[in-house]
Structure 1
Amino acid sequence: MPNLTIVANIYAKLDKINLVREELEKLIPTTRGEQGCLQYDLHQDNENPAHFIFFESWQTRELWQDHMSAPHVSAFLIAAENAVEDFSVNEMTHLT
């Protein structure tokens, strides 16, 4: 079975960009050490600094779902609760 690719789009409220970035960056070390995490990279849009993207690769969807229910993800959701304008996740399959 192919790996699961995740593209997560996070849009911070304009007055909360730094807070959201700091909270997103806190996720990286723990997540990269999780079982099944193959890639976990944070990007910030050059033209819209409120737009962040996590590009992720996981061995299985189940391991990614374990990540999504992990304590550090829950802590991010609480810390950024009123700072995120929009959030979307695309589950994708790498073809070539």
Structure 2
Amino acid sequence: MRKTFTALLALAAFAAAGVSAAPTLARERFGVRYEQIPAGAYSIVAHVQAKPGQEAALREVTLPLVDLVRGDPKNLVYFLQEDRARPGHFIFYEVFATQADFEAHNAMPYVKDWFDKLPALAEGGVQVMRMEVLGHGRPR
């Protein structure tokens, strides 16, 4: 208990000084490797909406993707999010160094399997925005 209190005091001190410990904690916990993200990295923002009554089923087949994709050495960042106001509306945020890395990810059996299940569970499939990461990053 005392260690937890001390850690909370340290975080409060960092916050008061304008220093955020959250990015460091996020990198350690989730393995986000910001220093490995090259300038111009290939990024995806995608969303899928469950059919009425299929929210839980879509969530059940989608949640395993988190560990599978994060375990892919070519994946640099992966977040699955669900809209609190619209259960069953999922947003994906993915970063790969190159488009080829992303295409290789989409060719994985577990991704193909997930896409095969979508027609029964989701309205209109997956809507995808293909993005480029801007800002600080190592040169390609």
TM-score by shorter chain over 0.5: yes
1:59 aligns with 2:108: no
2:132 corresponds in structure 1 to: 93
1:75 corresponds in structure 2 to: 113
Give the TM-score, by structure 2 length.
Answer: 0.64
Give 1:55's aligned amino acid. Answer: Y
Give the TM-score, by structure 1 length.
Answer: 0.91
Residues 4-43 of structure 1: matches in 2 within 5 Å? Answer: 4-43=42-81
Deviation at 1:33, TM superposition (A): 1.4
Which runs of 5 or more structure 1 residues have no equivalent in the other structure?
none
Aligned length: 96
Identity %: 29
Deviation at 1:24, TM superposition (A): 0.9
More helix by share: 2
**Greater RCO, CA 8 A, separation 6+:** 1
Which runs of 5 or more structure 2 residues have no equivalent in the other structure?
1-38, 136-140
Question: RMSD across aligned C-alpha pairs, in angstroms?
Answer: 1.3
Write the distance in 1 (CA, Å) between the matches of 2:65 and 2:119: 15
More strand by share: 1
1:40-91: CA deviation from partner (whole Å, max 9, x where unpaired): 1100011111210011111111010011111001111223331110221111
Write the distance in 2 (CA, Å) between the matches of 1:95 and 1:78: 33
Give 1:95's aligned amino acid. Answer: L
Which 4+ stretches in 1 moved above 2 angstroms? Answer: 78-81
Larger radius of gyration: 2
